[in-house]
Copies of this chain bind each other. A is one copy, B any other.
């Protein structure tokens, strides 16, 4: 490779762009803002990523694959199926805390592009569907082992959890996430039969910091 060397790191710039898109959404994130955060000028951005839309696709993919992997990792953890689901639910709180109550980019993307033929909207719906299946299977395992409280079907619960997660995106963005999310999580855990759910304070889980680099 000859010629002037790139002076910025593509992944780092992408992570910076993700941060902006995540906070503001696609439309509201101006190129100026993005370039500022990425630390490069328009020319570099356009030659590297194509255009704003393509940049969003890349940023979304970074987010999506990491959320998916994180979920997969937690649900297939070392505990029983139900314990893993609970850990996953508790993870949401941590996730919001870690990321400044910006909510989930997937929910945000569905709101912005959900009904359109936009490829990112399609990707977002697919991701949710896949995660919902994963969750449902785990809940089915829990039920087969007799871990699940009576009165709920795995499919209904999986749908419900996904719905709750979407809701937290709106709550987070309304500014009351810090106040409200802990209680929401407690109620979810109670649904899973965690009797003392509204007494215990969920403990910190060690997790991968999955956005910054890689």
Q: Which residues of A contact B (CB under 8 A)?
A: 23, 25, 27-28, 103, 107-108, 110-112, 114-115, 124-125, 128-129, 151-153, 155-157, 159-160, 162-171, 173-176, 180, 183-184, 186-187, 190-191, 195, 198
Q: How far is the CB of A59 from chain B (nearest CB, A)?
A: 18
Q: Which of A129, A152, A174, A176 lies at the interface centre, i.e. has the most chain B CB atoms within 10 A of its CB?
A: A174
CB neighbours (8 Å) of A198 from chain B are: 151-153, 156
Docked-complex contact B183 and A159, CB < 8 angstroms: yes
Count of chain copies: 2
Chain A interface, >50% SS class:
helix
Listed by A's residue number, 9 A-B pairs whose Cβ atoms lie within 8 Å are A103-B111, A110-B173, A152-B187, A156-B198, A159-B183, A160-B184, A163-B168, A165-B167, A166-B167
Which residue of chain B has the shortest Cβ distance to A102 in the bound complex?
B115
Docked-complex contact B27 and A110, CB < 8 angstroms: no
Docked-complex contact B125 and A174, CB < 8 angstroms: yes
CB neighbours (8 Å) of A152 from chain B are: 187, 190, 198
How many angstroms from the CA of A155 to the CA of B176 in the assembled complex? 14
Docked-complex contact B28 and A190, CB < 8 angstroms: no
Docked-complex contact B171 and A183, CB < 8 angstroms: no
How many angstroms from the CA of A180 to the CA of B112 in the assembled complex? 20
12 more A-B residue pairs beyond the given contacts A110-B170, A111-B111, A111-B173, with a C-beta to C-beta distance below 8 A: A110-B173, A111-B170, A114-B173, A125-B174, A128-B174, A152-B187, A155-B183, A163-B167, A166-B167, A167-B167, A169-B170, A187-B191
Docked-complex contact B171 and A166, CB < 8 angstroms: yes
**Which of B28, B114, B165, B184 makes the CB contact (< 8 A) with A174?**
B114
How many angstroms from the CA of A111 to the CA of B28 in the assembled complex? 11
CB neighbours (8 Å) of A167 from chain B are: 162-168, 170
Docked-complex contact B173 and A160, CB < 8 angstroms: no
